[in-house]
């Protein structure tokens, strides 16, 4: 899709025709950089999404649904305060990929006033800025300080749209003069750098339609300038023909571009929604997965460090018996020790070879006090050993848990299961909640995989929270439970007390595929009755022990064609 003003302009003009006069019923922020307005127009609820995501900034109507956070961001609360019950009066495209949405509402004194939401679609510089009727900024998604920019964006400052010293595509004479000044190899590259808000793909399309053969003269300059003007004013003309493509990924154009297999779409917003929703889903899944993988990896490294420190402490604790022997030898040789002595030389009777040892003493202390000092060190190390062994065991369990989370992330899909894994990492402290954010309410885990094979229902968890809910809440004691042997993987439930061998093999292949052994040709999978599966006491979900199992050897297969 050409991410430029030529595409954004007809999109915004179409929004103006559709949304003008509509009433804002809801304001939500499902993502930290995305605002959604539910607008009631002509008896229909439409959802306008405005995103400042650096990889997928956009503005269009959408039919997709997203979950909203338990605690709305401050920017969302600010918009709700002023926009709920307001009316959309206009959607106006400005220069350089900025759209101005004007609302008619009431201020704190209940006087009728207007507000503006500026949607700046400029990749990593994208932003959403909210102003009052005088264009004074009252809030922004991203604030920019005075010291950081020539164009600050802060509450209380006058809003100034970004300004670029470029030629506007609808200025026929200016575009013509620009073309005639060209002397180089690539006119498309030359114009892309000098025309305001026009992508190279759009410039190339304009050149094709103007039959540009490579020679710049008065006639070709006029044809190109005329087509640039036509593209700028395309909305409402025959040139405006919303189009979409499906391969290799959903894409959209305000008019069919050469070289693309385009099919007509009812509206440009509909085509944009298809393309942007797909791109947004892919980008956010990749972004969130990376964030979770980084958090899980840091947590894993922290566990490894704890284990390493525990090993060092345990190595020190091995000296505990030496301190006890020294204390016993001092008491056994109390008759030889005089106050003021700093060393006791004696045979170590606790060693079969009775070697001669030297024991350091504190000359200020009596022999009994010196012995006591060594006994205290002995007791301290014995206690430390017990505590350290417990800490090491906990760290090893958390390390195994972190490895399980990383395995689940390796096969995670762009659905709510990523939120489940995020909750898991929050629960073990791998991801910290912001200081001012309340701990979210406990929510049920997302839905697991559901299969049907030979009339038997089979379910498989996607993460630890799903595994625990599936095994201990969904499954019955008589159902069959499966899990890959001695590896991380999904809990799989066959909802039958006596499934045929073909169903067991089918479920075992799924369990093998949804595990850390999925790349092997032959994988061992255990199965037993659900009643033989017991949760390991503790806070970690999905951790179980089981008994009376039978082992199958299968080849991993996700069997996606059998998903319900």
In a shared domain, residues 467 and 539: yes
- Strand residues in 324-373 grouped as ranges (E): 343-347, 356-360
| Stretch (H or E) spanning 425 | helix 417-427
Q: How high is the pLDDT of residue 436?
A: 59
Q: How high is the pLDDT of residue 150?
A: 75
Cβ pair 115, 83 in contact under 8 A: yes
Return the bridge partners of 92, or none. Answer: 100
DSSP-based three-state secondary structure for 228:
helix
**How many other β-carbons are positioned within 10 Å of the β-carbon of residue 457?**
14
DSSP-based three-state secondary structure for 343:
strand
Cβ pair 391, 372 in contact under 8 A: no
Least confident residue range of 221-225, 329-333, 405-409, 411-415: 411-415
Angle 520-523-525 from CA coordinates, rounded to 5°: 150
Summarize pLDDT for 70-104 with one digit per residue, the tens. Answer: 899 999 999 999 999 999 999 999 987 899 999 99
Q: How high is the pLDDT of residue 434?
A: 66
- On whether residue 404 sits in a domain, the answer given is no
In a shared domain, residues 69 and 120: yes
User: DSSP alpha helices (H): ranges in 181-267?
Assistant: 187-194, 200-209, 218-232
Summarize pLDDT for 49-60 with one digit per residue, the tens. Answer: 999 998 889 999
In a shared domain, residues 363 and 476: no
Cβ pair 308, 318 in contact under 8 A: no
Does residue 280 surpass a pLDDT of 90? no
Taking CA atoms, 244 is separated from 67, 266, 267, 337, in Å, by: 27, 10, 10, 97
Q: How high is the pLDDT of residue 137?
A: 97
DSSP-based three-state secondary structure for 87:
strand
Q: Kindly indicate the confidence band of residue 441, based on its pLDDT and cuts at 50, 70 and 90.
A: low
End-to-end CA distance of the chain: 34
Mean pLDDT of the chain: 92
Query: Which of 223, 245, 264 is the C-terminal boundary of a domain?
Result: 264
Q: Kindly indicate the confidence band of residue 442, based on its pLDDT and cuts at 50, 70 and 90.
A: low
In a shared domain, residues 142 and 183: no
Percent of the chain exceeding pLDDT 90 equals 71
- The DSSP code for 136 is B
In a shared domain, residues 29 and 134: yes
| One-letter-per-residue 3-state SS of 142-165 | CCECHHHCCCCECCCCECCCCCCC
- The DSSP code for 167 is B
pTM of the predicted protein model: 0.68
In a shared domain, residues 218 and 329: no
Cβ pair 154, 131 in contact under 8 A: no
How does strand 44-51 pair with strand 34-41? antiparallel
Q: How high is the pLDDT of residue 415?
A: 65
- On whether residue 386 sits in a domain, the answer given is yes
Structural domain of 120: 5-148
Residue at token pair 């045979």: 347
Summarize pLDDT for 463-503 with one digit per residue, the tens. Answer: 999 999 999 999 999 999 999 999 999 999 999 999 999 99
Does residue 372 surpass a pLDDT of 80? yes
In a shared domain, residues 179 and 123: no
Q: How high is the pLDDT of residue 419?
A: 86
Does residue 211 surpass a pLDDT of 70? yes
- On whether residue 272 sits in a domain, the answer given is no
Alpha-carbon distance of 508 to 484, in angstroms, equals: 8
Alpha-carbon distance of 179 to 225, in angstroms, equals: 8
Cβ pair 295, 431 in contact under 8 A: yes
Alpha-carbon distance of 109 to 96, in angstroms, equals: 35
Cβ contacts of 515-521, under 8 Å, gap ≥ 24: 515/407, 515/484, 515/487, 515/488, 515/489, 515/490, 515/556, 516/403, 516/407, 516/484, 516/487, 516/488, 516/489, 517/484, 517/487, 517/489, 517/556, 518/411, 518/556, 519/556, 520/556, 521/555
Alpha-carbon distance of 505 to 562, in angstroms, equals: 14
- On whether residue 56 sits in a domain, the answer given is yes
Does residue 116 surpass a pLDDT of 80? yes
| Stretch (H or E) spanning 480 | strand 480-484
In a shared domain, residues 141 and 176: no
Query: Which of 148, 163, 192 is the C-terminal boundary of a domain?
Result: 148
In a shared domain, residues 85 and 181: no
**How many other β-carbons are positioned within 10 Å of the β-carbon of residue 193?**
11
- Average the pLDDT over 273-300 and give the result: 90
Alpha-carbon distance of 519 to 508, in angstroms, equals: 15
- On whether residue 158 sits in a domain, the answer given is no
Q: How high is the pLDDT of residue 292?
A: 95
- On whether residue 377 sits in a domain, the answer given is yes
- On whether residue 222 sits in a domain, the answer given is yes
DSSP-based three-state secondary structure for 265:
coil
- Average the pLDDT over 270-298 and give the result: 90
In a shared domain, residues 122 and 20: yes
Residue at token pair 């002595």: 341
Does residue 438 surpass a pLDDT of 70? no
DSSP-based three-state secondary structure for 62:
strand
- Average the pLDDT over 396-418 and give the result: 87
In a shared domain, residues 144 and 181: no
Percent of the chain exceeding pLDDT 70 equals 97
Does residue 217 surpass a pLDDT of 90? yes
Query: Which of 358, 382, 399 is the C-terminal boundary of a domain?
Result: 399
Q: Which two tokens stand for residue 170?
A: 């609808």
- On whether residue 157 sits in a domain, the answer given is no
Residue 171, burial from CB neighbour count under 10 angstroms (0-12, 13-18, 19+):
middle
102 contact partners, CB below 8 Å, separation of at least 6:
88, 89, 90, 91, 92, 114, 115, 116
Q: How high is the pLDDT of residue 164?
A: 77
Does residue 274 surpass a pLDDT of 80? yes
Q: Report the number of distinct structural domains present in the chain.
A: 4
In a shared domain, residues 44 and 132: yes
Q: How high is the pLDDT of residue 479?
A: 98
């Amino acid at each position: 899709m050409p991410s430029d003003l030529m595409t954004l302009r007809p999109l915004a003009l179409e929004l103006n025709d559709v949304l003008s006069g509509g009433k804002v019923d809801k304001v939500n922020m499902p993502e930290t950089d995305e605002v959604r307005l539910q607008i009631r127009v002509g008896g229909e609820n439409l959802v306008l999404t405005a995103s400042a995501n650096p990889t997928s900034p956009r503005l269009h109507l959408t039919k997709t649904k997203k979950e909203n956070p338990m605690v709305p961001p401050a920017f969302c609360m600010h918009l709700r305060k002023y926009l709920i019950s307001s009316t959309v009066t206009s959607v106006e495209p400005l220069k350089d990929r900025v759209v101005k949405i004007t609302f008619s509402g009431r201020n704190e004194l209940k006087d009728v006033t207007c507000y503006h939401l500026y949607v700046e679609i400029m990749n990593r510089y994208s932003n959403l800025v909210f102003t009052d009727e005088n264009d004074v900024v009252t809030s922004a998604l991203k604030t920019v300080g005075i010291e950081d920019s020539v164009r600050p964006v802060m509450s209380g400052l006058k809003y100034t749209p970004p300004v670029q010293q470029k030629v506007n595509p609808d200025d026929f004479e200016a575009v013509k003069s620009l073309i005639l000044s060209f002397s180089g190899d690539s006119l498309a590259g030359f114009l892309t750098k000098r025309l305001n808000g026009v992508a190279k793909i759009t410039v190339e399309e304009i050149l094709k339609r103007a039959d540009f053969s490579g020679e710049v003269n008065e006639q070709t300059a006029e044809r190109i300038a005329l087509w640039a003007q036509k593209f700028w004013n395309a909305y409402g003309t025959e040139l405006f023909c919303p189009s979409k493509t499906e391969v290799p990924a959903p894409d959209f154009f305000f008019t069919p571009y050469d070289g693309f297999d385009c099919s007509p779409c009812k509206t440009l917003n509909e085509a944009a929604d298809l393309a942007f929703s797909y791109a947004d889903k892919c980008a956010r899944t990749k972004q969130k997965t990376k964030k979770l993988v980084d958090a899980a990896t840091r947590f894993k490294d922290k566990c490894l460090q704890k284990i390493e420190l525990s090993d060092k402490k345990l190595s020190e604790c091995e000296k505990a018996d030496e301190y006890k022997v020294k204390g016993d030898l001092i008491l056994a040789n109390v008759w030889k020790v005089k106050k003021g002595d700093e060393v006791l030389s004696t045979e170590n009777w606790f060693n079969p070879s009775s070697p001669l040892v030297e024991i350091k003493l504190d000359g200020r202390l009596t022999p009994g006090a010196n012995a006591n000092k060594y006994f205290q060190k002995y007791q301290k190390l014995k206690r430390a050993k017990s505590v350290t062994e417990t800490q090491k065991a906990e760290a090893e369990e958390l390390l195994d848990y972190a490895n399980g989370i990383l395995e689940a992330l390796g096969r995670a899909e762009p659905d709510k299961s990523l939120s489940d894994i995020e909750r898991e990492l929050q629960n073990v402290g791998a991801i910290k909640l912001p200081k001012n954010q309340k701990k979210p309410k406990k929510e049920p885990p997302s839905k697991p995989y559901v299969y049907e094979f030979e009339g038997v229902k089979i379910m498989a968890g996607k993460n630890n929270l799903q595994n625990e809910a599936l095994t201990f809440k969904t499954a019955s004691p008589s159902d069959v439970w499966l899990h890959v042997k001695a590896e991380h993987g999904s809990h799989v439930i066959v909802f039958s007390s006596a499934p045929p061998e073909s169903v067991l093999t089918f479920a075992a292949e799924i369990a093998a595929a949804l595990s850390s052994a999925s790349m092997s040709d032959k994988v061992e999978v255990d199965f037993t009755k659900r009643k033989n599966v017991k949760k390991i006491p503790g806070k970690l979900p999905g951790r179980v022990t089981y008994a009376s199992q039978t082992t199958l050897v299968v080849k991993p297969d996700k069997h996606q064609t059998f998903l319900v």
